[in-house]
Structure 1
Amino acid sequence: MAKSLNCPNCAAVLDPKETSCAYCGSFIITSKAKQITYNLDEFMDEFKPKYKKIFVHGIEMRENECPIRSGFANMFYSVTRSDGGRLLLTNQRLIFCAHAINLNPNLYWELNLNEIDRTELGLNLFISQRIRIFERDENETNFVVYGGKHWQNELTHALDKG
């Protein structure tokens, strides 16, 4: 049985097989993949001119913003505490949204790329790795992700372009 979801822009019922809202014309990207890297050329050339608003996993893209990579991640606080959710890297921001089943299901973390000083690849735990994000104001945030080397490469590339 296919479940429906609502458009993040107008709340109209959206068939999960559809990628755009029939009512408001928003483009909606969702994926059950553990990790996905988006084709930026295709996104900017094909999607941006056609749609009024674009949402990636329920997050509205800003003007000239496009997704680079998204995937499951844990915001890591300590060995005994973390929040699971989805990490999204765009050409403007790094965003984390917690899953609904967390103790803190409304957790939303966002950082503009120009606020990031550097990133490092942390401890390797089999197929997952820790990505360490260092802000210019000396705060540090850690994420445990699948394919940490890919994340690190995409982050480095996005920071170099910014």
Structure 2
Amino acid sequence: MVKALNCPNCAATFDPEENVCEYCGSYIITSKSKQITYDSNDFKLANKKIFFNEIEMNTNEFPIRTGLGNMYYSLTKSDGGRLLLTNQRLIFCAHAINLNPNLYWEVSLEDVDRVELGLNLFITQRIHVIDDGENETIFVVYGGKNWISELEHVLHKMG
């Protein structure tokens, strides 16, 4: 049984399996899948708001990829949640069951210097995101090579 949620735009009840609020038309990213790659063309023609964990996307911002991920600090410490790549930002929101459930992290892709594939751990891989100030943030994700490919593609398009 799927629990109904409230739309972050109009507060109407919506079915999270539908991903679209039937009242205001907002698209709400609620997938529980390990990873999903979106076709951004599906969003460019829509005149509606897009939300990820109650975070509204900016004007002309579209989701590209989302999936489960851990923000990695050390072998004994990480925060689990969801990672979202858009054409403008990389966003991480922690799950409510973490010790740090309100953890929110984002970086504008304009501030990303490079991304690197890290250690392969069976079915997961580490991806390293290094910003212009040489600050490094590490995520453990499924399909790390796909994440790197998508990130590099978006960074290349930004020039």
Structure 1 range deviating more: 72-81 or 34-43 = 34-43
Residue deviations 1:89-134 (CA, integer Å, cap 9, x gap): 0000000000000000000001000000001000011110000010
Aligned residues with identical type, % of pairs: 67
1:44-83 correspondence runs (5 A): 44-45=44-45, 48-49=46-47, 51=48, 53-83=49-79
Task: State the distance in 2 between where 1:142 and 1:17 align.
Answer: 30
State which of 67, 84, 98 in structure 1 corresponds to 2:94.
Answer: 98
SS at match of 1:138: coil
Partners of 2:145 and 2:21 lie apart in 1 by 35
| Aligned equivalents of 2:5, 2:117: Cα separation in 1 | 36
Q: 1:113 aligns with which of 77, 98, 109?
A: 109
Post-superposition offset of 1:57: 4.1
Measured after TM superposition, the shift of residue 16 of structure 1 is: 2.5
Q: Is the 8 A contact 2:118 2:127 kept in 1?
A: yes
Aligned to 1:87: 83
Matches within 5 A, 1:17-36: 17-36=17-36
Picking from 124, 127, 147, the partner of 2:123 is: 127
CA distance in 2, matches of 1:17, 1:35: 16
Which residue matches 1:12?
12
Residues 53 and 93 in structure 2, CA contact (< 8 A), matched pair in contact too? no
Where structure 2 has 5 or more consecutive residues not aligned to the other structure, the ranges are none
1:124 is paired with a residue whose SS is strand
CA distance in 1, matches of 2:38, 2:120: 25
- Could you say which residue in structure 2 is the equivalent of 1:147? 143
Task: Tell me the SS of whatever aligns to 1:159.
Answer: helix
Question: CA 1:33–1:78 in 2, change beyond 3 Å: closer, same or farther?
Answer: same
- CA distance in structure 1 between the aligned counterparts of 2:97 and 2:156, rounded to whole angstroms: 35
The residue type paired with residue 13 of structure 2 is V
List runs of 5+ in structure 1 lacking aligned partners. none
Q: CA deviation at 1:43?
A: 2.2
Whole-angstrom CA distance in 1 between matches of 2:100 and 2:136 = 20
Superposition CA RMSD, Å = 1.3
Letter in 1 for 2:94: A
Q: Distance in 2 between matches of 1:76 and 1:54?
A: 27
